[in-house]
């Protein structure tokens, strides 16, 4: 239940659930080789999500009573910023630090359709999703985002596209799943993992989903990072609990010279 964002070689893992005694505030930075603990978030919590880079990030959500808290990251420390108007837990996010989208989540217990947009200074409620869900995946930008999978309360393969104005249902994922993680753009993204112990990886090309190589360690409620459908990072999660980190890299095309006569 931790947040993850960044790229395959520069990512942050933020907060999460450690089991008793509960939530953690620990933040770790991945440099492409190893993880290093950096400054904690101000409020320990799980069920949060984030977006951005390792020098300009943002996280939101968490369990009540802290589920409307929002914090920004400047590369060295966390700062509490304007709270969301309505609290959420286990929703999904897309965008960057100054143009950030939060959608889905709980309450209510079965998930909601609400979407909130942060413009760098204030929050605005924007168009609802078509299907209420929690524990869903999300990726893309604030005006071009994908919501995929999740819990309705049963696992769903539903996928929706947000164009900055409204949500539209598009082609479903091949495998319904709870708590996948997403990364990339709305025209070149990945969704990977899921609860319970799902190792499936699928790529999205803006129209349809294609199955890719599975994760080595199936997991749900994990962190994810990446900017395209050709590279991603999966870390932590529930198997029941793992610290495993995996990189996804699409196979390079081989260019050959062909002589014809």
pLDDT digits (tens, 9 = 90+) for 147-159: 999 999 999 999 9
The average confidence (pLDDT) of the chain is 94
Reference 46, options 72, 76, 28, 19; nearest CA is: 19
Give the pLDDT of residue 255.
Answer: 46
Give the Cβ contact number of residue 32 at 10 Å.
Answer: 11
pLDDT at 252 over 90: no
- SS3 (DSSP) at 100: strand
Please, which residues bridge with residue 116 across strands? 102, 125
pLDDT digits (tens, 9 = 90+) for 121-131: 999 999 999 99
Q: Is this model's pTM higher than 0.85 or not?
A: yes
Sheet with 115-118, edge to edge strand ranges:
92-96, 99-103, 115-118, 123-126
């Amino acid at each position: 239940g931790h947040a993850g964002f960044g790229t395959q070689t520069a990512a942050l893992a933020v907060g999460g659930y450690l089991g008793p005694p509960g939530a953690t505030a620990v933040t770790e930075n991945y440099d492409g080789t190893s993880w290093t603990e950096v400054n904690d978030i101000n409020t320990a919590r799980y069920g949060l999500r984030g977006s951005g880079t390792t020098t300009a990030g943002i996280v939101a959500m968490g369990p009540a009573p802290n589920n409307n808290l929002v914090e920004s990251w400047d590369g060295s420390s966390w700062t509490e910023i304007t709270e969301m108007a309505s609290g959420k837990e286990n929703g999904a996010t897309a965008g960057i630090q100054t143009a950030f989208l939060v959608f889905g989540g709980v309450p209510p217990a079965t998930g909601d359709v609400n979407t909130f947009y942060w413009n760098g200074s204030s929050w605005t409620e924007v168009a609802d999703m078509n299907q209420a869900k929690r524990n869903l995946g999300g990726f893309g930008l604030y005006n071009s985002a994908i919501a995929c999978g999740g819990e309705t309360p049963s696992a769903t393969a539903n996928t929706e596209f947000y164009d900055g104005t409204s949500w539209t249902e598009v082609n479903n994922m091949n495998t319904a799943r709870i708590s996948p993680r997403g990364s990339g753009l709305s025209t070149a993204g990945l969704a990977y993992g899921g609860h319970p112990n799902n190792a499936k990886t699928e790529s999205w090309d803006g129209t349809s989903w294609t199955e890719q190589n599975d994760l080595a360690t199936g997991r749900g409620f994990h962190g994810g990072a990446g900017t395209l459908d050709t590279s991603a990072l999966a870390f932590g999660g529930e198997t029941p609990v793992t610290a495993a980190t995996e990189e996804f890299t699409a196979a390079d095309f081989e260019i050959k010279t062909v002589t014809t006569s």
